[in-house]
Structure formats: C-alpha cells, structure tokens
C-alpha cells in the first residue's frame, strides 16, 4: 500500500497540492485525473520521492518514506520506475542502450545486461528494434523502450505521467494494454496520471479526481463513472 496523508506541496505562495490523502492498494492500477495545472505531476513527484512535501506524510507498506535521505532514499527510489509523455530517452543511444542505462548505473556486468535487455525487449514486444536509433522509432515504440528501461531493475511500482498523451488513439490503446499486461505479469502497482478519461476507463481500478491541488473525489472507477459526485468529475465525464 502506498499512502499519502494530508500531503501539501507549495511553490512559493502557490499551493500545487493541498491536503491530499490517498491510499493506493498493492497490485492496483490507480488513476489520477485532472485538468492541466491541477497538480497531478507534482503529486506524482511527491509520491515517487523526487520532491518532499511541505506537510503531510508518504508511506510505503506502512513505513514513512518522505523523510528518507542518502542511501535509504536511493534504495526506495530503485523500487520505482517512471515513464513520461515525452519519453525522456537518450537520443544518442539506440533502443537497447537506453534500456541498459539503469543496469549500467546498478553495476550489472556486460553479459548480464545483455541478457536482461533482450528479456526486456521481448517483454515490451520490440525485439526487432534492438539496435534501432531513436529517430527510427515511432512514438509507441519509444514509449515501449521507456517502459522497458523503467522496468529494467525490477521495480515494485510504475509511475506514469501522461504516458499516452502524445500518442494517437490506437497507439494509446496498445500501450495501455501493455501496461495492464505487465501489471498482471509482474505484480506491479501502477499509478497513472492523465487528463484523459478514456485512459482511466481502459485500465484503472481506482481513480482520484484532482482539482486545484485537492482530491475532490476518489474511489472505484465503475462507481465514479456511474455516479460522479464532484463538479470536476462530472466535467471530465461531460455529464453536467
Ligand atoms: N517546479 C515548479 N515551480 C513552480 N511552480 C510549479 C512547479 N511545478 C509545478 N508548478 C505549478 O504547480 C501547479 C500544478 O502543476 P502540475 O503539478 O504540473 O500540474 P498538472 O501536472 O496537473 O498539469 C501549476 O500551477 C504549476 O504551474
Ligand atoms: Mg503534468
């Protein structure tokens, strides 16, 4: 379980995330939806320990983690993978060498890296693109490379920040299907931030609706789609 309790994050006088409490069950695909500027990326950075909250607590498996420093912080961060809208890949490296990067950082031997990269390429179904330059890859293929890289060191949690927002609808569906498949295969917990309701509908079990930094509604996806209570959720669903 990943828990946030009364988390607030400010940038100067701007309150980006305000008094957010959430519980993400292990093995769930948990969606966070909200309009641009709602605080989704900030919330994800706090959850993934890239930024510290100004108030409140982040807990993994009941242990407080937002106060960790040094090796303990790095150890926690190694249990998380992240993917982004713009992929954040190295354009100077081919597909395989992008995927190998976290394995290099972790000090894995050349032979073991090679084997693991091959395994990961198979996992994300782009074995034929092993030596492709980045400019030779489509958006969907780049996101597959990014997913493979994020999973290279066997994280427990995958954080996705608008991972399908730059992709066409068909590619979006294929990437979401892959994430769902990987979640089941690897027992991942997935936290998925998006402004697209169809993304939530496609793969999330739970969702939190964020509006101006606050969670205005949270629960099982079916329930919120059937009977949205908040103005923000109704707007997202176009039912007001
Ligand atoms: N590093 C930062 N410095 C200053 N303001 C920021 C920073 N990051 C985000 N913000 C502000 O915090 C608010 C929430 O941003 P963000 O979390 O990126 O929203 P979203 O991902 O939902 O679009 C916005 O008003 C944004 O301008
Ligand atoms: Mg964002």
238 pLDDT exceeds 80?
no
Q: pTM for the full model?
A: 0.95
Residue 127 lies in a domain: yes
Q: How far apart are CA 79 and CA 59, in angstroms?
A: 14
Residue 78 lies in a domain: no
Q: Summarize pLDDT for 218-229 with one digit per residue, the tens.
A: 999 999 989 999
117 pLDDT exceeds 70?
yes
Nearest CA to ligand 1 atom 27: 37
Residue 93 lies in a domain: yes
CA 43 / ligand 1 centre spacing (Å)? 9
Domain count, the chain: 1
Q: Summarize pLDDT for 121-157 with one digit per residue, the tens.
A: 999 999 999 999 999 999 999 999 999 999 999 999 9
State if residue 36 touches ligand 1 by the CB under 6 angstroms criterion: yes
Q: Using alpha carbons only, give the angle 124, 128, 134 rounded to the nearest 5 degrees.
A: 80
Residue 122 lies in a domain: yes
Range of the domain at 129: 89-154
CA 208 / ligand 1 centre spacing (Å)? 18
- If residue 73 lies in a helix (H) or strand (E), which one and from where to where? helix 70-77
Residue 110 lies in a domain: yes
- Round the average pLDDT of the chain to a whole number and report it: 96
Residue 105 lies in a domain: yes
């Amino acid at each position: 379980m990943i828990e946030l309790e009364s988390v607030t994050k400010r940038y100067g006088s701007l309150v980006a995330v305000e008094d957010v409490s959430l519980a993400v069950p292990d093995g769930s695909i948990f969606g966070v939806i909200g309009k641009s500027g709602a605080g989704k990326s900030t919330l994800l950075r706090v959850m993934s320990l890239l930024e510290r909250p100004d108030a409140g607590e982040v807990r993994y498996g009941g242990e407080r983690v937002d106060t960790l420093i040094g090796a303990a912080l790095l150890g926690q961060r190694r249990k998380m993978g992240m993917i982004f809208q713009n992929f954040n890949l190295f354009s100077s490296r081919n597909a395989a060498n992008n995927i190998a990067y976290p394995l290099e950082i972790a000090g894995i031997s050349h032979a073991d890296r090679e084997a693991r990269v091959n395994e990961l390429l198979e996992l994300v179904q782009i074995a034929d693109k092993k030596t492709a330059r980045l400019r030779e890859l489509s958006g969907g293929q780049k996101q597959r490379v990014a997913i493979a890289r994020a999973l290279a060191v066997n994280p427990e949690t995958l954080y996705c920040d608008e991972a399908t927002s730059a992709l066409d609808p068909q590619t979006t569906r294929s990437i979401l299907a892959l994430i769902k498949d990987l979640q089941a295969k690897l027992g991942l917990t997935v936290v998925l931030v998006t402004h697209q309701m169809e993304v939530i509908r496609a793969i999330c079990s739970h969702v939190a609706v964020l509006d101006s930094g606050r969670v205005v509604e949270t629960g099982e996806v079916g329930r919120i789609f059937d009977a949205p209570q908040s103005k923000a959720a109704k707007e997202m669903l176009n039912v007001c």
